Structure 1
Amino acid sequence: MEKFIHIENVGVTFSTKKGPFVALRDINLNVAKGEFIALIGHSGCGKSTLLNIISGLNTPSSGVAIAAGKEIKGPGPDRAMVFQNHSLLPWLTCFDNVHLAVERVFGDRENKAQLKERTRAALELVKMGHAAEKRPGEISGGMKQRIGIARALAMEPKVLLMDEPFGALDALTRAHLQDELLKIIAKTGSTVVMVTHDVDEAVLLSDRIVMMTNGPAATIGEVLHVQLDRPRDRVALAHDARYMDYRTAVLEFLYHRHAKPEVETA
């Protein structure tokens, strides 16, 4: 498979008042075109730091990160980010929030009608065409996240990066959006790297689960290949022995071999 992301011997050290803080060390990871990767681990293990290196928001202290054959030296339209906070501009309509990104990426190549059509297509992809003229304050949290995903997909990125995109939603809304994301990825063939704390989410969505050791100086502890047929149905998988085995393997890693140490209190 074609390699889209290549991370080689990456380390990240931050300067603090107490001296250098090593967040990540010896990170080596390849992501193929069309692959869905989940990054999972305890808080403070550097999942978001690693995602930010791929996005270009963070710079490695050592090693190299490459996307689509080019060294990552900053954010770019080839890598779109979906945050836990939808980050929509509250004074713009849903249509205008998506159109702003479309115009930024394609404004010098397409006319106004084409830009509007691209925006409408992205909204329809996440089933939010009916809310195009609403502002973020007029729609639910789950709908806001749909708009955030639409905005990212409208840029036609080579890599879609997601930082706990459903973490702030209630369980039913989260499950519904996970199912919709499966359909969207199947339709677009997007390459995805997603940070999650949710073991079931990781197994349901991903092709590989990258399990991080505890920080500081966190690294990749294990990589689990999830060999479940697509399309995936959460109800059917609930009775699938392989699904339960994958889930158990991740829990075993997180809570037995890499349990988060308890903080002593006075």
Structure 2
Amino acid sequence: MTAFIEVQSADMVFNTQKGRFHALQNINLTIEQGEFITLIGHSGCGKSTLLNLIAGLLPTTTGVVLCDGREVNAPGPERAVVFQNHSLLPWLSCFDNVYLGVESVFGSREKKPQLAARAHAALDLVGMSHASAKRPHEISGGMKQRIGIARALAMEPKVLLMDEPFGALDALTRAHLQDELLKIVARTKSTVVMVTHDVDEAVLLSNRIVMMSNGPAATIGEILSVDLPHPRNRVELAENPRYVSCRKAVLDFLYTRQARLPEAA
């Protein structure tokens, strides 16, 4: 595998009413094509800011972000984002919400039947074909997130960026969508970068877990490789020694070493 996403010496500084806020400092990260990376850390450590740099939603103050060898300096269809809020247009059906994304990317070179086929295929991929005619207020929170994921996948992005997409869901719905996401990624071979607060979610889904230090001026504290075979089964993994070891390593970083950093500073 070769480097597909590269974050090189990136800093992010925000100008606020109280002065300059140094959110991220000297971020260096290389992601290979087809990897599933999770970003984890305490609130305020810059996880979402780093995701937004990769998405092109924010420009780096210093440093550079590269995707497939090209500098990222604006949003682009090769990098689709799924937010915690599903961001569906309430007056459109589920199909039309997905179709809107498809049309924005492929509308200039494909006819309407081809665009519709892409939208239907994406809905089928996330198991939501039965709700294609419904509007967002007629479906559950978990279903809304599936539609958001379908819209992103329908654009055939090179990178899928996810900002705590399951954070607002109940535990059972979240677990079900995590399992579905693993299946989708296995089929699409997508490169995924996902922000999470959930240690078990990070270990279950990731090839590597990027653990962020406390902010301000947060940076990458450690990167943990999760050497667990695919497909992954959450029930079987519960007693897997490697799973337990990875989970303990992340907890130790977050709640032992990082908890002491403010006192040591």
CA distance in 2, matches of 1:114, 1:54: 30
Regions of 4+ moved over 4 Å: none
- Secondary structure at the aligned position of 1:53 is classed as helix
1:261 positional shift:
7.7
1:134 aligns with 2:134: yes
1:260 positional shift:
7.5
Residue 70 of structure 1: aligned partner: 70
1:18 positional shift:
2.0
Deviates most, 142-151 or 16-25: 16-25
Residue 99 of structure 1: aligned partner: 99
1:108 aligns with 2:108: yes
1:14 aligns with 2:14: yes
TM normalised by structure 1 equals 0.97
CA distance in 2, matches of 1:131, 1:261: 48
- Secondary structure at the aligned position of 2:259 is classed as coil
- Secondary structure at the aligned position of 2:146 is classed as helix
- Secondary structure at the aligned position of 1:152 is classed as helix
Q: CA RMSD in A?
A: 1.2
1:112-157 deviation per Cα after TM superposition (whole angstroms, max 9, x unaligned): 1100000000000000000000000000000000000000000000
1:16 positional shift:
1.4
Superposed counterparts of 1:151-230, under 5 Å = 151-230=151-230
1:2 positional shift:
2.4
Code of the residue aligned with 2:100 in structure 1: it is L
CA distance in 2, matches of 1:93, 1:17: 41
User: Aligned in 2, Cα 1:30/1:76: closer, same or farther, shift over 3 Å?
Assistant: same
Code of the residue aligned with 1:128 in structure 2: it is M
TM normalised by structure 2 equals 0.98
User: Percent identity of the aligned residues?
Assistant: 69
Code of the residue aligned with 1:38 in structure 2: it is T
1:86 aligns with 2:86: yes
CA distance in 1, matches of 2:68, 2:84: 25
CA distance in 1, matches of 2:21, 2:89: 34
CA distance in 1, matches of 2:99, 2:20: 42
Structure 1 alignment gaps of length 5 or more: none
Asked if the contact 2:214/2:261 (under 8 Å) is kept, the reply is: no
Code of the residue aligned with 1:113 in structure 2: it is P
1:4 positional shift:
1.2
